[in-house]
Amino acid sequence: MLVPGFRFQPIDEAEVAIELATLAQSAPAGTAPELGGPEIREATDLARTYLAATGKRRTLIPMKVPGATYRAYRAGGNLTPTRAVGTRTFADYLTG
C-alpha cells in the first residue's frame, strides 16, 4: 500500500456540514476560516489504523511525492492546528 510522507487532519463530514450551515446563515464576512479535524496524524498511522479496523494486511510503502504541492503538504500547509473543529476522530469514523 503506497502511503505519502505527510500528515493529515481528517474531519468528519457531519462536522463540516454544521460549520458550512453556520457560515451560510451568518452575514457575509469575507474569507471563511480554515478548519480541520480534532487530530493531526501521519498518513502511515492513518493507513495502519484503517488496516487494523478492516482486518486487512498490507505492506506499507512510504512514497515521496515530488512537486510544489506535495512539498507544501510535507511542510504542513494542509493543516490548521489552531482551527481544529469537532470531536470525531478517524478511529471513531472507522468504528462506526
pLDDT of residue 49: 96
Report the candidate in 41, 23, 43, 47 with the shortest Cα–Cα distance to residue 33: 23
Secondary structure percentages of the chain, helix, strand, coil, to 5: 45, 10, 45
| Backbone φ and ψ of 66, nearest 5° | -80, 170
- 7 three-class SS: strand
Q: Across the 96 residues of the chain, what is the mean pLDDT of every consecutive 10-residue run?
A: 95 95 93 94 96 96 92 95 93 90
Threshold 0.95, pTM exceeds: no
Three cell numbers, residue 78? 494542509
| Backbone φ and ψ of 2, nearest 5° | -75, 130
pLDDT of residue 29: 87
